[in-house]
Amino acid sequence: MTAAIDAPVVRDTRRRRSTRSRRLTGLAILLVLVVAAALASIAVGTRSIGPGEVWRSLFDGDLSTEEAVIVRQLRVPRTALGLMVGLALGVAGALMQGHTRNPLGDPGLLGVTAGASLAVVLAIAWFGIGTPSGYVWFAFGGALAGTVLVYAIGSAGHSGPTPVTLALAGAALSALLYALVRAVVVSDQQTLDSFRFWVVGALAGRGADVAWQVAPFIALGLLLAVANAPALNLLGLGEDVARGLGQRIWPARIVGLSAITLLCGAATAACGPIAFVGLVVPHAVRAVTGPDHRWLIPCSGLLGAALLLTADVIGRIVARPGELQVGIVLALVGAPFFIALVRRRRTATL
């Protein structure tokens, strides 16, 4: 009798150990991938630099050689920005899909990308700003304004804001804002020429000043995301169950939405709209970690960083001596990858 009772307990313990081992292995692999992608981002470009020269350029402190200038003043800031933006988009995608319960949830669904796009267009057209460091604050302000408007529209009515109303409000407002963007760019050729280099999504041309400007917002967003993970696990059981377990629903929603806004807003402001990272990465990670957001969120951030840097390196290789912007590479790679992911395996439930 005792053996019959203990058998399910033993099986459950073994299953938990197996799941934990799989998650730890996946986390270790992702860390290795991020390090490898970062090293490749520093070493590979229009001019390839060997590992020994990269090491000397990083730690010697001498900027007298051309290789040292390229590594320390161009590639290191670009790699650091790629790491931050990839982390931000991967984590924002996991949060977005968790809060909306929508497998097609994307960080731009809350109007963040559309608001940032309109703000950049207006900054170029009205104020003549044409550099990433100049319009980064306009983009971030537009992202915040877009999220506030979506939340206000989604909160209208007696039921208040729900994941469904927020998603619908985000889709409707994004369509309106993008229509305004098109109205501005088609009426001004100079604005169109400047805007198209931002809207394609790229790490090129962004210096260390841009990275420093967005770093505090990404750091704060990551902290809020980690703090929101346990509440998001309870919300996944349903709001009634979560409420019965003592979870306060709307404080958890506000923390999650704030994290999404900070992360996606900062990433979009720095590099322009970059698609597919926030959509594809959480699905790929969920197949390994399961729906536990305490693992899903950090692993999504690491895979997002590795994917973004890898795409940036591929863009430098395939179009030498020029380069293909990372947003284009991710669109070309992300769509087939997502289709294959859906066709070849069942995506874990949200």
Is residue 77 assigned to a domain?
Answer: yes
303 and 90 in contact (C-beta within 8 Å)? yes
Is residue 46 assigned to a domain?
Answer: yes
Is the pLDDT higher at 69 or at 326?
326
Is residue 350 assigned to a domain?
Answer: no
What pLDDT is stored for residue 308 in this prediction? 95
- Residue the block writes with tokens 């090129």: 204
Q: Which domain holds residue 72?
A: 2-344
pLDDT band (50, 70, 90) for residue 64: low
Is the pLDDT higher at 222 or at 167?
222
Q: What would the pLDDT profile of 267-316 be if each residue is shown by its tens digit? A: 888 888 888 888 889 988 988 888 889 999 999 999 999 999 999 999 98
pLDDT band (50, 70, 90) for residue 9: low
Is residue 218 assigned to a domain?
Answer: yes
Residue 302's nearest CA partner among 109, 113, 84 is 84
* CATH (domain of 272): 1.10.3470.10
Instruction: State the average pLDDT over residues 34-60.
Output: 80
What pLDDT is stored for residue 159 in this prediction? 66
What pLDDT is stored for residue 344 in this prediction? 60
Q: What would the pLDDT profile of 199-220 be if each residue is shown by its tens digit? A: 888 888 787 888 888 899 999 9
What pLDDT is stored for residue 56 in this prediction? 74
- Is it the case that residue 4 has pLDDT exceeding 60? no
Bond preceding residue 132 cis, omega within 30 of 0: no
295 and 288 in contact (C-beta within 8 Å)? no
Is residue 39 assigned to a domain?
Answer: yes
Instruction: State the average pLDDT over residues 326-343.
Output: 78
| Rounded Cα distance, 315 and 318, in Å | 6
Mean pLDDT over the full length of the chain: 83
Is residue 326 assigned to a domain?
Answer: yes
Bond preceding residue 321 cis, omega within 30 of 0: yes
Q: What would the pLDDT profile of 80-139 be if each residue is shown by its tens digit? A: 999 999 999 999 999 988 887 777 777 777 788 888 888 888 888 888 887 777 778 888
Domain count, the chain: 1
209 and 133 in contact (C-beta within 8 Å)? yes
What pLDDT is stored for residue 92 in this prediction? 92
Is residue 349 assigned to a domain?
Answer: no
Q: What would the pLDDT profile of 220-247 be if each residue is shown by its tens digit? A: 999 999 999 999 988 888 778 888 888 8
| Rg of the Cα atoms in the chain | 22
Is residue 260 assigned to a domain?
Answer: yes
